[in-house]
């Protein structure tokens, strides 16, 4: 490449015009700056954006915790009220030593309702965090009025006994009136009832998930 009478090549850079040398030097500086930005500056900008996003997240967390700290007294008061309510509910549950008497009371209520017991089978209990569940399968016989009264009496003990389901079938030799789905109130019926009896447990000794199982003995009649 010639500029005037001067042959331009890298062997005679010192002979190039000053303006040309400054222009080439400026172009090289720009290229180096662009390469430096691409290699270093872009990654730093990415880190800066991540730091700003983290700053916003930490600020929101701080504001939320500051609000919780401000309302700490109210939270503690609500917690105390919940504990008192829980204690009151647990006091309504029978202890393990009172469980046989509760089982016996089911027989008493059944006799009052006029039903006859043909089966009473408690299963292994399941211990929850602060109470235990004892499933019981009961089979009784009687007419519609007797069975309805017995179920009503069981349901009335909501905090201690929970009726989970029942079935009613005709007794042996029973004659159905009006078809296979019709039963009169004086029929001899058999009812199978599934209930859960609740009792309190020692919270300190109880497992948080699953405790030991106990099979209650059949109450003496």
Is there a domain that residue 94 lies in? no
The neighbour count for residue 189, using CB atoms within 10 Å, is 21
The neighbour count for residue 128, using CB atoms within 10 Å, is 16
Query: CATH number of the domain that 182 lies in?
Result: 3.30.70.60
Handedness of CA 25, 26, 30, 36 (dihedral sign): positive
Whether 35 and 112 map to the same domain: the answer is no
Global model pTM greater than 0.75: no
Whether 118 and 165 map to the same domain: the answer is yes
Domain final position from 54, 70, 86 = 70
Is there a domain that residue 186 lies in? yes
Is there a domain that residue 46 lies in? yes
**Residue ranges making up the domain that contains 168:** 99-200
Whether 118 and 47 map to the same domain: the answer is no
- The pLDDT score that the predictor gives to residue 42 is 66
End-to-end CA gap in the chain: 122
Is there a domain that residue 90 lies in? no
Rg (CA), the chain: 42
Q: Please, which residues have CB within 8 angstroms of residue 106's CB and are 6 or more apart in sequence?
A: 120, 136, 138, 154, 161, 219
- Paired residues of 117 in beta bridges: 140
Whether 140 and 55 map to the same domain: the answer is no
Q: pLDDT 10s digit of each residue in the chain, 221 long? A: 555 555 556 666 666 667 777 777 788 888 877 777 676 666 777 777 888 888 888 888 888 888 878 888 888 888 888 888 777 777 778 888 888 888 888 898 899 999 999 999 999 989 887 888 999 999 999 998 999 999 888 888 656 888 888 898 887 755 555 444 454 445 689 999 999 988 888 654 333 333 333 334 444 44
Q: Give the tokens for residue 49.
A: 């954006």
Residue with tokens 């001899």: 188
Number of compact structural domains in the chain = 2
């Amino acid at each position: 490449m010639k500029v005037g009478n001067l042959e331009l090549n890298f062997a005679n850079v010192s002979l190039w015009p000053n303006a040309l040398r400054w222009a080439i030097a400026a172009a090289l500086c720009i290229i180096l700056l662009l390469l430096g930005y691409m290699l270093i500056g872009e990654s730093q900008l990415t880190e800066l954006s991540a730091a700003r996003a983290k700053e916003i997240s930490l600020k929101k967390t701080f504001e939320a915790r500051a609000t919780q700290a401000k309302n700490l007294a109210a939270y503690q008061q609500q917690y105390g009220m919940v504990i008192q309510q829980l204690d009151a509910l647990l006091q309504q549950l029978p202890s393990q030593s009172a469980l046989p008497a509760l089982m016996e009371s089911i027989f008493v209520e059944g006799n009052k309702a006029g039903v006859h017991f043909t089966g009473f089978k408690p299963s292994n209990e399941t211990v929850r965090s602060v109470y235990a569940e004892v499933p019981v399968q009961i089979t009784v016989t009687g007419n519609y009025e007797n069975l309805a009264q017995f179920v009503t009496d069981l349901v009335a003990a909501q905090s201690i006994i929970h009726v989970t389901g029942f079935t009613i079938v005709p007794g042996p030799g029973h004659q159905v009136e009006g078809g296979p789905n019709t039963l009169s109130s004086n029929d001899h019926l058999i009812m199978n009832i599934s209930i859960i009896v609740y009792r309190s447990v020692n919270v300190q000794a109880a497992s948080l998930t699953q405790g030991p199982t106990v099979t209650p003995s059949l109450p003496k009649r």
